[in-house]
Amino acid sequence: MSGAYSTSSGVRGSNHGSVLGDAKFHAPVPTRRGWAENVRIWWREIDKWLLALVLLLMMLGTVAVAAASPAAGNQYKVGEFVFFERHIVFQILGVGVMLAVSFASRDNARRIGILMAVAMLFLLFLVPLIGVEKNGARRWLDLGMSLQPSEFLKPGFAILLAWMLSWRLRDPELPVLGYATLTMALVGALLMLQPNLGATILFGGVWFVLVLLSGVSIQRVAALILGGLASITAAYFLYDNARYRIDSFFGGGTAFDQVDLAQRTLLNGGWTGSGLWLGTRKMNLPEAHTDYIFSVIGEEFGLLTCGLFLILFVAIVVRALVRLVDEENLFALLAGAGLATQIGGQAFINMLVNLQLFPSKGMTLPLVSYGGSSTIAVCFTIGLLLAITRRNPFLERETPGLKNLFERQKNEERP
């Protein structure tokens, strides 16, 4: 048939019409999905196990805050359950933020994370100038509500570094390791001005994991480890806050004796605990509802329950990594691993501090501790992790992703 053509729908026709008459064929016009359709797609693609683990941990954390609220109320001279009531509100807001962010596509999650990182870096520059000082540290901005920029920088930092390091697939000659290291140096310098050694160590851990997964050589990894040790040594001699905390950990001290009190509180409940609101040592424990809530869990619910919290955090990290095992996209692999490292790293540091196995860091237990902006920030992080690990279960993948990462690195290093 002369003048035949193929339409976008694959139907053969002619300039004079088709065998069905003079009806014209047009390319299908994309239609906007309705709210119900978007929810259906989201539910199909979301990691339901990861979401369930997070929600379970948040529910158990709410009970823990209820146990710690009387001690916090006594410390701040307010009602016994004021912090518990506020925590319920923050948890509801946090879950809303988490679910809203998890609806984002992978590309939009990347854009949101990068914009968050840039905005929080700008606010970090303002903290030493106009920040609010609490307990000898200047980490907060008063923007109508107390905001700690470093908390919201955590997810943005992981996304930003993952985006930078993924550039090497487009151009292997780009100095992506240098860009990532300069970003880490800038963040570390701004945090140490507060000072905030704990956050600096956590950011450094996320940076190290992402650099390692991006495929750098073993020689560079060794150099990075030596650089990290040199940085910690410099912090010990240059920053009183770091020196006091490290000295307190190794030799005991008077300025941070709450670490010893936290350990005693944690062990006071034995294996099964004294029971809800029956703990006594928690009443003398500073920041029982935030930094040392793990000790309150130990006293009132026992060491077995502490083990349950540990298992839940391990399960969240492992589940996220399992989801990335056959991931084909390097950015998604790095971003997901970075966000999981940030959540898991913060949790394990907090637990080790409560057990007096790590110097005090002033770091909350994510998804468990009381907090306003910190709770929202952690839920925002989980929302990004859920968005990045979303996947169509009907799509088959041929590349082994994370399973072949180190094998790919070896091949790249061969001459």
* Residue range 89-124, pLDDT digits in tens: 999 999 999 999 999 999 999 999 999 999 999 999
Neighbouring-strand partners of residue 147: 141
Structural contact between residues 295 and 269, judged by C-beta atoms closer than 8 angstroms = no
Q: Is 399 left (phi over 0), alpha (psi -120 to 50) or beta?
A: beta
* Residue range 381-407, pLDDT digits in tens: 999 999 999 987 766 554 445 555 555
User: 69 vs 62, 88, 366, 379, 403, CA distance in Å?
Assistant: 10, 12, 17, 21, 45
pLDDT of residue 396: 52
pLDDT of residue 253: 46
Residue 400 CB partners (closer than 8 Å, separation 6+): 325, 326
pLDDT over threshold 60, residue 13: no
Structural contact between residues 91 and 375, judged by C-beta atoms closer than 8 angstroms = yes
Lowest-confidence region among 11-15, 263-267, 312-316: 11-15
* Residue range 23-38, pLDDT digits in tens: 444 545 455 667 888 8
pLDDT over threshold 60, residue 311: yes
Lowest-confidence region among 7-11, 149-153, 339-343: 7-11
pLDDT of residue 280: 85
Q: Cα separation of 256 and 266, whole Å?
A: 17
pLDDT of residue 404: 56
Q: Cα separation of 333 and 402, whole Å?
A: 7
> pLDDT category, 243, cuts 50, 70, 90?
low
Beta-carbon neighbour count of residue 392 at 10 Å?
9
pLDDT over threshold 80, residue 408: no
* Residue range 140-170, pLDDT digits in tens: 887 777 788 999 999 999 999 999 998 877 7
Mean pLDDT of the chain: 81
pLDDT of residue 143: 76
Q: What angle do CA 168, 173, 179 make, to 5 degrees?
A: 65
pLDDT of residue 8: 38
User: Higher pLDDT residue, 372 or 165?
Assistant: 165
pLDDT over threshold 60, residue 412: no
User: 49 vs 99, 267, 281, 328, 389, CA distance in Å?
Assistant: 14, 32, 36, 21, 12
User: 177 vs 95, 214, 244, 360, 405, CA distance in Å?
Assistant: 35, 9, 33, 31, 17
pLDDT of residue 114: 96
pLDDT of residue 405: 55
Residue 372 dihedral angles phi and psi, to the nearest 5°? -95, -85
Whole-model pTM?
Answer: 0.82
Q: What share of the chain has pLDDT > 70, as a percent?
A: 79
Lowest-confidence region among 75-89, 182-196, 354-368: 354-368
Token reading at 361: 């860091």
Neighbouring-strand partners of residue 12: 6
DSSP 172: T
Beta-carbon neighbour count of residue 242 at 10 Å?
21
Residue 183 CB partners (closer than 8 Å, separation 6+): 157, 160, 161, 164, 207
- The residue among 318, 342, 386, 376 whose CA lies nearest residue 157 is 342
Q: What share of the chain has pLDDT > 90, as a percent?
A: 43
> pLDDT category, 414, cuts 50, 70, 90?
low
